[in-house]
Structure 1
Amino acid sequence: MQRVLDQFLENLTRVRLLGGLHASLTSTTTAVLDVSDLLRAQIVLAISAFDTLVHELTRLGMLEAAAGKRTVVDTFQRFQVSFESVQLSAGASTLDWLDAEIRRKHSFLSFQTPDKVADAIRLISSVSLWNSVGSHLGKSPTDIKKELQLIVDRRNKIAHEADGDPSFPGTRWPIDPIMVNRAIDFLEAVGKAIFLSV
């Protein structure tokens, strides 16, 4: 599981490098060249890194449970698999069939919003996720969930609405490096706390 956290941190490092590119271009060009989309890309990629972390923790945790290396929780026992996967599992000496089934079923899902993240983690752990994350971060679970939801909402505005402000057609919502860095730092802290919680 450590490699999942390491990959998450590496992905966030790449996201932060875009911020460095933004800073460099801002300092060497005029305001005529709008490079704010680099900041928007950082938000989208940071949420992508977070989503990938939850997907991978869940997938590997489920495989560990199936292999008897992790306590099996009720939600895991109710995970439905296709008949095709059941046929593949017959006589299989590995859990590759389950790995493929988890990937197939979860490929339709995003684990970004607080409720969806908690749903995913319930497949591998009975921990009260947001209480545990709050304990690790010294913040209330409600505040953590609200902040995560705000970042996801902004990502959705960027990814699905071109970050357009409907109140002022032709303009985009404001964004700045401080806002973006705060979001990335928050996602990193929450990701680490989730890792420690499961």
Structure 2
Amino acid sequence: MATSRMRQFTVEMTRARDLVGLGQSVYRMTGGRVDGSDMYRAALVHAVAALDSYIHGIVLDRGVDMLMGRLANSGSKSKVGLQLSAVQEILNAPNALMQEVSARAQIAQRLSLETFQKPDDVANGLAMVGISKVWSIAFPNDPGAAKAALGVIVQRRNRIVHQCDADPLTPGAITPLSDGDALDSISTVQAVVAAIDPHC
């Protein structure tokens, strides 16, 4: 059964594909005078953001379930690292509902300092909440290939957002990105999450 976070992830993937479609339409409507590739870049960035948001949601939901005693604490030795004042606020909540609201707020605040995009970061985040060796479990035939495919996309995303996708070999030029490349990246991210989700 799909997690509750999968529905929103699917919505975000549709938005990413719509950005590619918008870029294609702009290119066609202008007879090729306006390049749609910046919309393809935006789509790739959005797909990675959707992955990050999905993993954050899973870690948050499972972390709250562990803290509230609904899920066995089988996490790795990694720590979410709540401050003592946060723990005190959770424990001093007047009732169970407010305790859960407080736990969710405190864990969400703490997780806001993390990114879960690179393959190892995804694995570490999920391991914190009891999902260990996710790449081997989700991709039993070749976890290395799945990690490498995602790693390439995240690396390109980082080049887009931190370096304006500048071509390192040609100063002043932008690294080309086609609509097909963007759609392939979106499909890869979606396949990664689809394989991980049943184990969450």
* Letter matched to residue 127 of structure 2: R
Cα offsets for 1:35-67 (capped at 9, x unmatched): 210000001100000000000001001111222
The corresponding residue for 2:51 is 50
TM-score normalised per structure 2? 0.91
Label 1:40 to 1:74 Cα distance change in 2 as closer, same or farther (>3 A): closer
RMSD: 1.7
Equivalent residue runs for 1:52-71 within 5 Å: 52-71=53-72
The corresponding residue for 1:29 is 30
* Cα contact 1:22–1:35 (8 A) shared by 2: yes
The corresponding residue for 1:182 is 184
SS at match of 2:139: helix
* Cα contact 2:123–2:132 (8 A) shared by 1: no
* Cα contact 1:127–1:197 (8 A) shared by 2: no
CA distance in 1, matches of 2:186, 2:72: 32
* Cα contact 1:133–1:194 (8 A) shared by 2: yes
* Letter matched to residue 130 of structure 1: W
The corresponding residue for 1:102 is 107
Equivalent residue runs for 1:7-156 within 5 Å: 7-75=8-76, 78-92=79-93, 93=95, 94-135=99-140, 139-156=141-158
CA distance in 2, matches of 1:22, 1:77: 42
Label 1:132 to 1:166 Cα distance change in 2 as closer, same or farther (>3 A): same
* Letter matched to residue 158 of structure 1: I
* Cα contact 2:24–2:36 (8 A) shared by 1: no
Q: How many angstroms does 1:25 deviate by?
A: 1.5
CA distance in 2, matches of 1:102, 1:17: 32
Q: How many angstroms does 1:68 deviate by?
A: 2.4
Q: % of aligned pairs identical?
A: 28
Cα offsets for 1:90-117 (capped at 9, x unmatched): 3322222221221121111110001110
CA distance in 1, matches of 2:168, 2:118: 23
SS at match of 2:76: helix
Cα offsets for 1:12-42 (capped at 9, x unmatched): 1111111111121222213332221000000
Aligned residues: 195
TM-score normalised per structure 1? 0.91
- Runs in 1 of length 4+ with deviation above 4 angstroms? none
* Cα contact 2:37–2:177 (8 A) shared by 1: yes
Q: How many angstroms does 1:167 deviate by?
A: 1.6
Q: How many angstroms does 1:127 deviate by?
A: 3.2
